[in-house]
Amino acid sequence: MKKKILLVAGMMGCGLMQAQDIYKMEMLSGQDLNGTARFVGMGGAMNAIGADISTMSTNPAGIGLFRRGEVSTTASLNIQTNGRDLMDHGKTRMSFDQLGVVVPIKMDDDEFKYLNFGFNYHKYRNLKGYVGTSALTGGLSQSWQMMDLTYTNRYLDLDYSADRELTTPLTLLGYDTKMLEPRFGADGKVEGYDAVQARDYNYQRVQWSGVHEYDFNFSANFSDQIFVGMTVGVYDVDIHSGVRYGENIYDPAGGEGTFPYAMVQREHLSGSGVDFKFGVILRPIETGSFRIGAYVHSPIFYALKSDQYLVMESPFEDVVNSSTTLPYTTRDMDPGRNEYNLHTPWRFNLSMGGTLAGCLALDAEYEYRDYSTCQVRYPYVFDEYDYFADGEKDHALKREAENYLSGVSTIRLGAELRAEGGAYLRAGYNHETSPFKKDAFLNQFTPSSSYYYSCTTDYINLSGINRWTGGIGYRGRSFYADMAYQYQHQSGRVYPFHVPTDYSDIANRLSGRKFDMSKHQIMLTLGYRF
């Protein structure tokens, strides 16, 4: 009975030839609410008001409102609510978030008033985070997904090097550590595999470092009514991640008790990128404070490199030589470097803002970006007979993005009250919808080159994000200081592996575990105007 069930599970994979990198697409397409404490304190809603260095990375026209030079720097303390010290990640960490300067040049013209230049560094994505969960599996095991990957129009014989090149590193180590057991037909050929059954699992994933952005801006002020700007963004990617996964597996021989299985995977994703941002702010009434802002961002054009390491240990005996037998089997693998290019979605924003009674600044805005338009391309060109891509575009991953990623809407609201003695009070709210469709999943089967570098089976479907922010500030004639607090609430449903229910239904037989990914951030900005 067990063999029959496992055989069906292995066959189900052949009809699910989907791509697997939609989760990296989401990770590199999203953006944190980060920058100066003033910008964060107002929920990032400053793209019609302008005159803050952080608007350089959102609405470049905001730099056109500067009339004095300015330099600022920001540091923060980040705390994940359910965080944990694991690998190179800590629950609480300091972060250097921003350093920028604006230099305005007054023009000798009644209409063309200012030409401004600016530079700003900030954390585009601060990916320090921890996810951990454990649960009963009902007999399911990660090895079931490994077993699925042994079928590619036929069952592979993993004792032969030619067949080993047709599956993933994860499956190869699963076979080498005896988590998969081949079954042979009367002709001596492999006709399927048996996998183990697990009682429960323990899963932990951490990420650290992130994506750093360097912005170069020029902007202009026309008649104090029209402000335009352009920013060239340069990105540095340095993302580390690690997974520790374990199961208690039942004795395949039918004995009592369970035995431990463990897997550790680490990845370093590095690279660079560039994008182009264009923005405008209009003041329709010459004597009024009301402003309308708009911006458009090109895709970020990333060139990326992924380096991974995978190690697996099973409770099955390893006969080293005629005189040595170990009670366990350990194998490891470096699958090599995977190089590819990623194009993120276009971004569009419309904002409105102004000042009431000369002391209360308000801003409201809406942004949209369609994650389903993400593309993966390769730095090399496939030949015309290659199944995986036509030219440089990975069409399989493109279809995956269209099927399981969605458009993301962001609403930002911000307010700033100027009090007596140069003091300021700020508050903001920021809501971002989920980038994943309901049935999103990471399927290891894909007719793309990413298939041959697959070392993990886990995925996390993230919910939308709610951010509540507040802050205080002091501004003197030249020196200023701002503080901000941000609470970000987000949850995710964690799946350590995927086993589809049947041939036609992609739903996972393994229930996802909900995990709270909320975090707190305290920021301090120091600045000087000249």
Q: Check: CB of residue 257 under 8 Å from CB of residue 251.
A: yes
Q: Looking at this protein, which amino acid is placed at residue 417? A: L
Nearest Cα to Cα of residue 90 among 239, 206, 242: 206
Q: Is a pLDDT exceeding 80 seen at residue 290?
A: yes
Q: Is a pLDDT exceeding 60 seen at residue 13?
A: no
Segments forming the whole domain that contains residue 115: 2-90+102-529
pLDDT at 42: 97
DSSP string for residues in 55-91 = GGGS-GGGGGG--S-EEEEEEEEEEETT---BTTB-S
Instruction: Give the lowest-confidence range in 99-108, 329-338, 427-436, 518-527.
Output: 329-338
Q: At what angle do helices 395-404 and 22-29 cross, to 10 degrees?
A: 70
Report the C-alpha gap between 371 and 180 in whole angstroms.
Answer: 37
Report the C-alpha gap between 249 and 478 in whole angstroms.
Answer: 66
Instruction: Give the lowest-confidence range in 42-56, 86-100, 329-343, 426-440.
Output: 86-100
Report the C-alpha gap between 420 and 474 in whole angstroms.
Answer: 10
Report the C-alpha gap between 408 and 425 in whole angstroms.
Answer: 30
- The answer to the question of residue 350 being in a domain is yes
Q: What Rg, from alpha-carbon coordinates, does the chain have?
A: 27
Q: Check: CB of residue 154 under 8 Å from CB of residue 450.
A: no
Q: How far is CA 364 from CA 107, 245, 414, 471, in A?
A: 31, 44, 7, 17
**Residue range 301-307: mean pLDDT, rounded:** 94
pLDDT at 381: 55
Report the C-alpha gap between 497 and 500 in whole angstroms.
Answer: 10
The tokens describing 211, both together, are 């994506």
Q: Check: CB of residue 178 under 8 Å from CB of residue 313.
A: no
- The answer to the question of residue 35 being in a domain is yes
Place of tokens 């995925």: 459
Sign of CA pseudo-dihedral 79, 80, 83, 85: negative
Number of Cβ within 10 Å of residue 167's Cβ equals: 23
Q: Check: CB of residue 472 under 8 Å from CB of residue 483.
A: yes
Q: Check: CB of residue 295 under 8 Å from CB of residue 280.
A: yes
pLDDT digits (tens, 9 = 90+) for 497-524: 999 877 656 788 999 999 998 999 999 9
Give 243's strand partners: 205, 265
The tokens describing 414, both together, are 């911000």
Instruction: Give the lowest-confidence range in 70-79, 82-91, 420-429.
Output: 82-91
Q: DSSP code of 504?
A: S
Q: Is a pLDDT exceeding 50 seen at residue 326?
A: yes
Q: H or E segment at 39?
A: helix 37-41
Q: How confident is the model at residue 489 (pLDDT cuts 50, 70, 90)?
A: very high
Phi and psi at residue 186, to the nearest 5°: -65, -25
**Residue range 333-361: mean pLDDT, rounded:** 93
Number of Cβ within 10 Å of residue 413's Cβ equals: 18
Does 255 or 485 have the greater pLDDT score?
A: 485
Place of tokens 């040049």: 105
The tokens describing 290, both together, are 């009301």
| Tally of domains within the chain | 1
Residue ranges of E strands in 375-422: 375-377, 407-418
pLDDT digits (tens, 9 = 90+) for 356-380: 988 999 999 999 999 999 999 887 6
pLDDT digits (tens, 9 = 90+) for 184-243: 999 989 999 999 999 999 999 999 889 999 999 999 999 999 999 999 999 999 999 999
Q: How confident is the model at residue 324 (pLDDT cuts 50, 70, 90)?
A: confident
Report the C-alpha gap between 507 and 476 in whole angstroms.
Answer: 59
Helix (H, G, I), strand (E, B) or coil at 239: strand
Nearest Cα to Cα of residue 16 among 505, 373, 454, 510: 505
Q: DSSP code of 512?
A: P
- The answer to the question of residue 70 being in a domain is yes
Q: How confident is the model at residue 529 (pLDDT cuts 50, 70, 90)?
A: very high
pLDDT at 86: 55
pLDDT at 450: 75
Does 2 or 286 have the greater pLDDT score?
A: 286
Nearest Cα to Cα of residue 86 among 227, 241, 258: 241
Report the C-alpha gap between 308 and 325 in whole angstroms.
Answer: 29
Q: Check: CB of residue 51 under 8 Å from CB of residue 64.
A: no
**Residue range 417-424: mean pLDDT, rounded:** 94
Across the beta sheet with 513-516, the strand order is 459-462, 491-495, 513-516
Place of tokens 């009809």: 15
User: Can you give the CATH number for the domain in which 378 is found?
Assistant: 2.40.160
Q: Is a pLDDT exceeding 70 seen at residue 3?
A: no
Report the C-alpha gap between 487 and 470 in whole angstroms.
Answer: 9
Give 319's strand partners: 325
- The answer to the question of residue 95 being in a domain is no
pLDDT at 84: 63
Burial of 160 (0-12, 13-18, 19+ CB in 10 A): exposed
- The answer to the question of residue 479 being in a domain is yes
Report the C-alpha gap between 90 and 95 in whole angstroms.
Answer: 12
The tokens describing 33, both together, are 């609410």
Q: Is a pLDDT exceeding 50 seen at residue 426?
A: yes
Burial of 69 (0-12, 13-18, 19+ CB in 10 A): middle
- The answer to the question of residue 97 being in a domain is no
DSSP string for residues in 141-183 = -HHHHHHHTTBSSSB--TTSHHHHTTS-HHHHHHHHTTSEEEE
pLDDT digits (tens, 9 = 90+) for 438-457: 889 887 777 777 777 888 89
